[in-house]
Amino acid sequence: MIRNVGGIDRLLRIVVGLVLISLIFVVEGGVRWWGLVGLVPLLTGLFQTCPLYSVFGLNTCPLRNISK
């Protein structure tokens, strides 16, 4: 799996994902289930890969210098 989600992007995805998931426990009614949408940014942040970034050719992961 190719990593295409970098540092700040990863951190923001994890935070936004956790905030959205917390809606399940905080909000009443049917709106609370929208918190499950938070799984998408949380998982893409944890696994450091985003399928949409691959489709559009985006990459926020810094290049690693591989020199001997």
- Average pLDDT over the chain, rounded to whole? 90
pLDDT of residue 65: 42
User: How confident is the model over 44-54, as pLDDT tens digits?
Assistant: 999 999 999 98
3-state secondary structure of 46: helix
Place 64 in a pLDDT band, splitting at 50, 70 and 90: low
pLDDT of residue 1: 77
Segment holding 32, helix H or strand E: none
Residues in the chain: 68
Kindly list the domain boundaries of the chain, sorted by start residue.
7-56
Residue 16 CB-half CA count within 13 A: 12
The pTM score is 0.84
Taking the C-alpha atoms of residue 5 and residue 50, their distance in angstroms, rounded to an integer, is: 7
User: How confident is the model over 24-51, as pLDDT tens digits?
Assistant: 999 999 889 889 999 999 999 999 999 9
Residue whose structure tokens are 């985003």 = 50
